[in-house]
Amino acid sequence: MTTTAALSRYADLPALIGLMEGDEKHEGAAHSTLDVLWVLYDRVLTVTPKTAGHPARDRFLLSKGHGPASFYAVLAAKGFLDVPTLRGWRAFDSPLGHHPDRVLVPGAEIGSGSLGHGLPIALGTALGLRGRDVRRADGTAPRTVVLVGDGELDEGSNHEAIAVAGRLRVEGLTAVVVDNRSSAHGWPEGIGTRFETEGWISREVDGHDHDALYTALTAPHPGRPLSVVARVRPKS
C-alpha cells in the first residue's frame, strides 16, 4: 500500500536517500541520476500511483539499475512507496533490493541492473504501444522513457536497439543518457552523434539543470525517437 509522502519536495530527496544505508559503492551512480529522475516524475511523465497500471500511462524504465537509491527516493516522494519502507531496504523481507524488481517495487516497470537490457526492452515496449495504437482520452500517445548510463552504451545490444528505433521512426521512445564520462570506449564526436547517425533527434544538456532537462524532454520531435544526453558532475 502506498501513501502520499510527507517528504514530497525536491529538497526532501537527500533526507529520503539518507534513510537508505549500506550502498556506498554506488553512491555516485545514485547521485548522477537524481535530477533527471526528479524532473521526469515531477514535470514530464504522465503516471501516478493511481494510474500505474493504466494501459495508457507513460512508462519509465530504469536501465541504469545499480545504485537505485535516488529512484526509490523519488518514488517515495511521489507516493509510490511508503517512506518507512526506505529504512529497511537492506532487510531480508524488504521489497527494495540493490537492483529494482518490478514484481516487488510499485512503479518499477522492469527488473534492472544487468546493463544493456533496458533500451532494447524500452524499444519493444514503445513498438507494442504503437502497434496497438494505445491512446489517452485526449488522443495523445503514451511515452516510453528509458534511463541509461554512458558506460552502458558499450554493450552491443544498445547499438542494435538504437539502429532499429531510428529506422522504424519510433517517436514514442525517449532515451536519457546520463553521461558521467564512465564509458570505456566512447563514441566519435560524442554520444549524441551516435544517436543522430541512426536517425534520432538528440539534445545535450546539463544533467543538473531542471529547466534545461524539462525543455529537452518535452520539445517536439515528430516522427523520430529522442535522445537526451544529460551531462553530470561526479559527486565531490
Tell me the pLDDT of the chain (236 aa) as tens digits. 344 447 889 999 999 998 887 655 446 566 789 999 999 999 999 999 999 999 999 999 999 887 789 999 999 999 999 999 998 887 788 899 888 889 999 999 999 877 789 999 999 999 999 999 999 999 999 999 999 998 888 888 999 999 999 999 999 999 999 998 766 566 778 899 999 999 999 999 999 999 999 999 999 999 999 999 999 976 55
Burial (Cβ within 10 Å: 0-12, 13-18, ≥19) of residue 95: middle
In this prediction, residue 30 carries a pLDDT of: 65
Q: What is the pTM of this model?
A: 0.91
In this prediction, residue 116 carries a pLDDT of: 80
- Measured in whole angstroms, how far is the alpha carbon of residue 200 from the centre of its chain? 18
Short-list 81, 52, 60, CA closest to 69: 81
What is the residue whose three cell numbers read 494501459? 55
Contact 55, 134 (CB under 8 A): yes
- Measured in whole angstroms, how far is the alpha carbon of residue 30 from the centre of its chain? 12
DSSP output for 161-208: HHHHHHHTT-TTEEEEEEE-S--SS--TT-HHHHHHHTT-EEEEEETT
